[in-house]
Amino acid sequence: MQPILANYTASITELKKSPTQLLKDAGNEAVAILNHNVASAYLVPSELYEKMMDIIDDYYLAKEVEDRLSYKEEDLIEVNINDL
């Protein structure tokens, strides 16, 4: 059984009738769009989508920082600040 990852659900027919009303009724939460009682899509308000993208960006930034901090001592190059 496929989990529904939203507190609100609507059928495709309801989505066709009034997508704006679905978003209004759900507030700032995602709406699972069901096709034959199976989630086929998620309708996500723009504010929530932007938050999700920020979280994803932060995750990738953290991974990049982690990668750059995992160096070996022998990989370090000593420089004199006056040479820069």
Domains and CATH numbers, the chain: 8-69 (3.40.1620)
pLDDT band at 11; cut points 50, 70, 90:
very high
Q: How far is CA 49 from CA 42, 65, 67, in A?
A: 11, 24, 27
**What is the model's pLDDT at position 71?**
85
Percent over 90 (pLDDT), the chain: 85
Residue 14's φ and ψ, nearest 5 degrees, are -65, -40
Percent over 70 (pLDDT), the chain: 100
Task: State the chain's mean pLDDT as an integer.
Answer: 94
Question: Average of pLDDT values for 16-30?
Answer: 94
**What is the model's pLDDT at position 27?**
94
**What is the model's pLDDT at position 4?**
95
Q: How far apart are CA 9 and CA 57, in angstroms?
A: 28
Q: Got the DSSP string for 10-78?
A: EEHHHHHH-HHHHHHHHTTS-EEEEETTEEEEEE--HHHHHHHHHHHHHHHHHHHHHHHH---GGG---
Sheet harboring 31-35: ordered strands across?
8-11, 31-35, 38-43
